[in-house]
Amino acid sequence: MLIRLTSIIFLLLLFWSCEEVVELDLEFDSKVVVVSEIAPNRRVEVNLSRSRSILSEEPTEYIGGAEVSIENRRIGQTIELFFQKGDTTDTSNPNNTQIPLYLAEERNLIGGSNNYELNVKVAGEEPISAITTIPERVNIQSLNVTNFEKNLDPRVDNQFKINFDFGFIHNPLIANNYHLVAYFIYDTFDEPAEPGADTSFYSLIQTPIVEDLAVESPYTFDFENGVLIQGDDISEGTNNFNVELSVSFDTNFPTEASNPQLIVELRNTNFDYHDYHFKLSRQRSQRDPVLAQAILIPSNINNGLGIFSGYNYDLRLVRLRE
């Protein structure tokens, strides 16, 4: 018994002492990544960057100086996009406060039930393109806020709870996949920096967290905002959902004088939009990305990576009173 125990200890020490760090020399071919989701009455935005190796710790490299255009394939109209700094926070790179974007001058460029082609030319790369279709609009039939109150839990500060019911009619011939999003908007101001200076008034937008969705059909929490719902799991006809939200404020939390408002938006999304959001949301929700099953993020970009997709929507706004 003693000999066996001694042998085991010896083998453990032997293998322990042979630990060695192995440098992986992986070949990586960087590609242009395109991200653009278009909808009627909303400005076209296109983000261009370069893909990175999974082992890379470098920040995202955004691409400027490209030629970007979008064509309405039904009427043959082509619009050139211009390049400028955006004001959207990059959640993947919190140190990057602004994302460079290619924007369209016109806000009414996109119409429902039309096909659009995105074309991108980047120096040293093959021409990049993608095609998407805008689905038909779905209508929110009703929206009713049933609760708006401050959370009294001493473990959280300045957190509000919002409950609302909303109803819509599901027609499987028009809609297959939905994305329910919500925004919380309120007015605030900054005190004058010095006596006699003007007071700055502005509106702030918060993205609430969906705590619960009372519905029999399955849903997925989206990585950006709200929840994704598959139309195949919804009964045809009138559907009513109850939603519970929470929203937190570090500073300038709203009062009744702040005119707090809730915006609820129901999107009818095409397949590419839903597939991209669904799989990226699943990937980001994994707690152990090393041991978890690999999830491949879909791409519909020719000669590149990323997503060019479309959606249509209806939204309602309601004022909140605590």
Q: What residue spans define the domains of the chain?
A: 32-133, 140-296+313-319
CA dist 111 and 135 (Å) reads 9
**Is 19's pLDDT higher than 80?**
no
**Is 184's pLDDT higher than 80?**
yes
3-state secondary structure 263-307: EEEEEEECHHHHHHHHHHHHHHHCCCCCCCCCCCCCCCCECCEEE
**Is 198's pLDDT higher than 50?**
yes
Write out the two tokens for 122: 């980047």
Looking at the structure, give the CATH architecture of the domain made up of residues 32-133.
Sandwich (2.60)
**Is 239's pLDDT higher than 50?**
yes
Give the residue among 158, 147, 280, 261 at the shortest CA–CA distance from 212: 147
Average per-residue pLDDT for the chain: 83
- CA 187: distance to chain centroid? 24
Query: Among 78-87, 268-277, 288-297, where is mean pLDDT lowest?
Result: 288-297
In the DSSP assignment, the letter for residue 173 is T
- Mean pLDDT value across residues 145-155: 81
pTM, rounded to two decimals:
0.82
**Residue 314: how many CA atoms within 13 Å on its side-chain side?**
14
- Mean pLDDT value across residues 241-264: 76
- 154's CB contacts (< 8 A; 6+ apart) are none
Phi and psi at 215, nearest 5°, equal: -155, 145
Which pLDDT does position 256 carry in this prediction? 54
